[in-house]
Amino acid sequence: MSQTAPQPEDVPLAPLPHYIGGQPVTSSRAPFANVDPASGRTVGYVHEADAGIVDQAVKAARAALRGPWSRYTDPQRAAILRKVADGIRARADEFLAAEIRDTGKPHDLASHLDIPRGAANFDVFADQVANLSTETFRSPTPDGNGALNYALRTPRGVIAVICPWNLPLLLMTWKVAPALACGNTVVVKPSEETPSTTTLLAEVMNEAGVPPGVFNVVHGFGPDSAGQYLSEHPGVDAITFTGETRTGTAIMKAAAVGVRPVSFELGGKNAALVFADCDLDAAVAGVTRSAFLNAGQVCLGTERVYVERAIFDEFTRRLKAAAEALRPGDPYAEGTNFGPLISREHRDKVLSYYARARNEGATVVTGGGVPAMPAALAGGWWVEPTVWTGLAPDSAVLTEEIFGPCCHLAPFDREDEAIAAANDSPYGLATSIWTQNLTRAHRVAAAIEVGIAWVNCWFLRDLRTAFGGAKQSGIGREGGVHGLEFYTELRNVCIKL
């Protein structure tokens, strides 16, 4: 993948279209601006769907369910998904440029995580569906002849896929790949902040030979726009959503009409537990990554760190140094490893928590403001990586999801005290535990109320494993066969022998 910034003439001038039935489609609502978060400049425009466009997309997806797609065998769908993966890899530079333009994230991050994982998701779910089995039972009957029960997996139908902006291609393909692997059709609503890679994927779907109408894209916002119209549309059979817990609540109300199933990956307020017996270098590096990767805009990111008192001062000193070594800058520049926040609105929200922490008497170990950036980036949505100590446990800074590059460090004396503090949250997405005591690692991992517990690592993902949150961090699990449970319906067939 090249590391050259795209030239101005590469910036699309025509608004990005929706994709319906394999064709680009425009709409009559005024296009909305696509802003580069690194510079604050408008770099393109995007068509916004009205209710009629969403209806068209859902009908195209429904029609495609009855078309050739319904006759593809599992291995045939797997083969076509592998072509989609290859298609992303063949156009990796375009995906990379689009993702960086939409998010401002460093080239290094997008080229190592977002784009390769976007492709890998199709390979993984191709493997999963090619090896999928169902249960059979030979059952006793009163006449002694018995009966054979077996389960058939059928696609759920038209799936609405509503996506966030933080890892746009990665998180969208994480849903689209299993949905298509199971024979469903999809209508995807990317975030209004990051419309580009989903639109590019529609082209790749066509190139890979995915039948028209199987993959549809509608652009727009949430309320009174594409998101609401899609989640309320009666032609949608199931909704998979990643985003804020509050948005999930609105979508769940829409899904209640028609009793449609949902799969939700929602917010978090994740805790790291750092014990005095940890490998300190690894723990500092791991917590630095988990608090500041993608400028803290990772649902799995750490905003609360509990550190055993014996190493608290040393850990704080080292985390401060690591935060101060991060290099914000041009996403394409050598050495840039810290990007901007996604939007002015999100920057204002994060800065409001920075102000609140100061007002509540936090010790600002580092950061807390807006970095001085060179002129070309001065209009972007930058904030400093920030570390606090000294806040009361019930502070909003410690109970609400900020989704920015910041974390609070608090000392603890006993393991049970650290576990209780970590669990004192309405969220339960992920945790990371740093210790070299294996027995303690198993004990603590079992005691923390989360969907994902990492020991001596963070965001180390095997895509076949279950992914999802406890409490208000989600409903259901995606990943591996667990995702396939959501994207299929089981039909039991009972044959009297």
Question: For ligand NAD, how many residues bind (rule: CB under 6 A)?
Answer: 32
Site string for ligand NAD, 387-426 (x = CB under 6 A): --------------x-x-----------------------
**Partner touching 250 among ligand 6OD, ligand NAD, none, CB below 5 to 8 Å by kind:** ligand NAD
Say how far apart CA 28 and CA 444 lie, in whole Å. Answer: 55
- What stretches of 179-242 adopt beta strand conformation (E)? 185-189, 215-217, 238-242
CA distances from 420 to 12, 124, 258, 271 (A): 51, 37, 40, 11
Q: How far is CA 234 from the centre of its chain?
A: 26
Instruction: Give the dihedral sign, CA 300/303/306/307.
Output: positive
**Partner touching 481 among ligand 6OD, ligand NAD, none, CB below 5 to 8 Å by kind:** none
Say how far apart CA 26 and CA 76 lie, in whole Å. Answer: 32
Contact 56, 226 (CB under 8 A): no
Q: Minimum CB separation from ligand 6OD for residue 167, in Å? A: 5
Q: Minimum CB separation from ligand NAD for residue 225, in Å? A: 7
Say how far apart CA 287 and CA 456 lie, in whole Å. Answer: 10
Q: Minimum CB separation from ligand 6OD for residue 224, in Å? A: 26
**Partner touching 309 among ligand 6OD, ligand NAD, none, CB below 5 to 8 Å by kind:** none
Q: Minimum CB separation from ligand 6OD for residue 174, in Å? A: 5
The structure tokens 């009855």 sit at: 66
Active-site residues: which are they?
265, 299
**Partner touching 461 among ligand NAD, ligand 6OD, none, CB below 5 to 8 Å by kind:** ligand 6OD
Find all residues with CB under 8 Å of 155, minimum gap 6, and list them.
65, 182, 183, 184, 487, 488, 489
The residue ranges that bind ligand 6OD (CB under 6 A) are 166-167, 171, 174, 298-300, 461, 467
Say if strands 215-217 and 185-189 run parallel, antiparallel, or are unpaired. parallel
**Partner touching 174 among ligand NAD, ligand 6OD, none, CB below 5 to 8 Å by kind:** ligand 6OD
Say how far apart CA 453 and CA 419 lie, in whole Å. Answer: 13
**Partner touching 80 among ligand NAD, ligand 6OD, none, CB below 5 to 8 Å by kind:** none
Q: Whose Cβ is closer to ligand NAD: residue 94's or residue 265's?
A: 265
Round the CA-based radius of gyration of the chain to a whole number and report it: 23
Site stretch for ligand NAD (CB under 6 A), options 91-99, 142-150, 157-165, 369-377: 157-165
Site string for ligand NAD, 194-223 (x = CB under 6 A): ---------------------------xxx
**Partner touching 223 among ligand 6OD, ligand NAD, none, CB below 5 to 8 Å by kind:** ligand NAD
Q: Whose Cβ is closer to ligand 6OD: residue 44's or residue 428's?
A: 428
Among 247, 270, 288, 431, binds ligand NAD (CB under 6 A): 247
Minimal CA–CA distance to 490: which of 185, 261, 156, 62?
156
Q: Whose Cβ is closer to ligand 6OD: residue 241's or residue 467's?
A: 467
Among 163, 210, 323, 452, binds ligand NAD (CB under 6 A): 163
Find all residues with CB under 8 Å of 121, minimum gap 6, and list them.
85, 170, 173, 174, 176, 177, 463
Instruction: Give the dihedral sign, CA 474/247/291/34.
Output: positive
Site stretch for ligand NAD (CB under 6 A), options 37-45, 105-113, 145-153, 246-254: 246-254
Q: Minimum CB separation from ligand NAD for residue 268, in Å? A: 5
Say how far apart CA 196 and CA 102 lie, in whole Å. Answer: 7
Q: Whose Cβ is closer to ligand 6OD: residue 56's or residue 247's?
A: 247
Q: Minimum CB separation from ligand 6OD for residue 166, in Å? A: 5
Say if strands 430-434 and 427-428 run parallel, antiparallel, or are unpaired. unpaired
Say how far apart CA 305 and CA 18 lie, in whole Å. Answer: 42
Q: How many residues does the chain have?
A: 497
Where along the sequence are the contacts to ligand NAD (CB under 6 A)? 162-166, 171, 189, 191-192, 221-223, 227-228, 231, 242-244, 247, 250-251, 265-268, 299, 401, 403, 429, 469, 473-474
